[in-house]
Amino acid sequence: MLPEHGRTAQDLLAELSGLKAADLPVRGGKVTAYVYDTGRPEVHETAHRAYAEMLEVNMLDPTAFPSMVAIEKQVVGAVAELLGRPGAPGIFTSGGTESIMLAVKAARDHGPGGGEIVLPVTAHPAFHKAAHYLGLDVVPVPVDPVTFTVSPAAVEAALTARTVLVVASAPSYPQGVIDPVEEVAALASAKGVLCHVDACVGGWLLPWLREAGAAVPPFDLSVPGVTSISCDLHKFGYAPKGASVLLFRDAALRRKAYFASAAWPGYTIINATVQSSRSAGPLGGAWGTLQALGAEGYRELGRTTLEATRRLVKGVAAIPGLRVLGEPESSLVAIAGSDEVDVFVVADEARRLGWFLQPQLSYAGIPANLHITVTGVTLAGVDALLEVIAAAAGAARARGPAVVPDGLPELIAGLDLDALDDATFAELAASVGVDLRGSGSGDAAQPEMAVVNAVLDALPAATREAVLVRFLSVMYS
């Protein structure tokens, strides 16, 4: 793989662009998850330049690179100001997962060690991951089957002497609705328990939607009892990936997220994050994006995002066989199907038309659905998006639901996946139309995912997880 002789930049970039040809496009709004496009290329260009300028600064040692301390203070300060507590202490992290990991660590170390996290079933898996990594237990609480938000009474019933953290989402990713933050935080506070608001996706969106006229309930650090909040700038801050901010009510709690070690004969370690050596590029990119857009830019993006969301929700309601789950309070929309219109088939049909709609499996009584994240660029293409959804739904009705091969879920659920060799697993995948050997080569045919999703949907969560781990491992072999 390593060439004997160094290659030219032109040669390398040509190869990268060839490899990327099979990727989903990151601009233009036809991919309605993963990517956040302002529709303003000059803003992204500015961010790239600021990113590159800071790329080689190492955030390992803030005394060596004061520039990064100054920039981080500005970025954290901007988020604190927007989220109800100017001057609140915070940490710039690599993403929502790391922000959540550190909020959970702070909660664990705030108490005597060990304990439980109480969270709605709609909370992001990053909390399960944090609990898994940090040796805590998760206590999931069901959500209302109509509003998809958690009920304060159910949260109260789940609190025990072992609870170290209560979680509310603003909004939750799956249906884009906001948990009752005021009530949940008050309950936690009454029991002396910390409360984290996961505003990873909503933190840098909801305040601008509110300014644009949306009814957004209080959800931030101004709410009594909220002790930490996470806000991803690489989502609705439109910053390049690797950018999130975690805010704390006070500096004492932030110190519980830090880690220091003097237990070796090398340089002393003081880390604010999970990572130690890390590039200041993402920090520069986030700062550059915030500065390039300014309040006016975000206000305008909030306005167009809200209008696009309203038009999307209204438009979907008029498509036979589809319905929007709950009442979206942000710009995330979940679309469920019906007996006649299988959402997994809709996703494949939309993909054929050049659009990516993100499948979400059924869970905890919530039906399978397609997730759409409406961003700044969506408004310009919202009519085209609705036409694609309507056409895909029509085609899905004509094709009928994905057919799960007889007995396959039972067969998979009964397998010891660790005992299968890769070749046998690849054969199993081929039986549902997935060519694992072709993946990553860049020339694999457009995958038909409906049957795969239908099979996964028929499996219990633990088996889904085992299959997914196996899938990833084979993809990289």
Ligand X SMILES: *Cc1c(COP(=O)(O)O)cnc(C)c1O
Per DSSP bridges, beta strands 194-198 and 163-169 are parallel
Which residues from 336-365 bind ligand X, rule CB under 6 A?
Answer: none
Residues in the interface with ligand X (CB under 6 A) total 12
Distance CA 425, CA 170 (A): 39
What binding mask, one character per residue, do residues 406-445 give for ligand X by CB under 6 A, x or -?
----------------------------------------
Q: In what order do the strands lie in the sheet with 137-141?
A: 90-93, 244-248, 228-232, 194-198, 163-169, 116-120, 137-141
What binding mask, one character per residue, do residues 146-175 give for ligand X by CB under 6 A, x or -? -----------------------x---x--
Q: How far is the CB of 446 from ligand X (least distance, A)?
A: 25
Closer by beta carbon to ligand X, 169 or else 388:
169
Q: Does 130 bind ligand X (CB under 6 A)?
A: no
C-alpha 72: how far from chain center: 22
Nearest approach, Cβ of 223 to ligand X (angstroms)? 17
Phi and psi at 394, nearest 5°, equal -60, -45
Query: Do 252 and 125 contact (CB within 8 A), yes or no?
Result: no
Residue 453 interacts with ligand X (CB under 6 A): yes or no: no
Q: Which stretch binds ligand X (CB under 6 A): 50-58, 92-100, 307-315, 444-452?
A: 92-100
Question: In angstroms, what is the minimal distance from the CB of 174 to ligand X?
Answer: 9
CB 121 within 8 A of CB 174: no
CB 95 to ligand X: min, Å: 3
Q: What are phi and psi of 448, to 5 degrees?
A: -90, 110
**CB of 96 or CB of 115, closer to ligand X:** 96
Hey, CA dihedral for 70, 73, 77, 78, is it positive or negative? positive
Looking at the Cβ atoms of 110 and 124, the one nearer to ligand X is 124
**From the list 39, 76, 90, 97, which residue makes contact with ligand X (rule: CB under 6 A)?**
97
Q: Which is nearer to ligand X, 124 or 254 (CB)?
A: 124
Interface of this chain with ligand X, residues 197 to 236, rule: CB under 6 A: 198, 200-201, 232
In the complex with ligand X, the residue whose CB is nearer, 282 or 284, is 282
Question: Which residues, at least 6 apart from 284, have a Cβ–Cβ distance to it below 8 Å?
Answer: 50, 51, 52, 53, 54, 55, 57, 71
Q: How far apart are CA 318 and CA 386, in angstroms?
A: 10
DSSP state of 404: P
- Footprint of ligand X on this chain (CB under 6 A)? 95-97, 124, 126, 169, 173, 198, 200-201, 232, 244
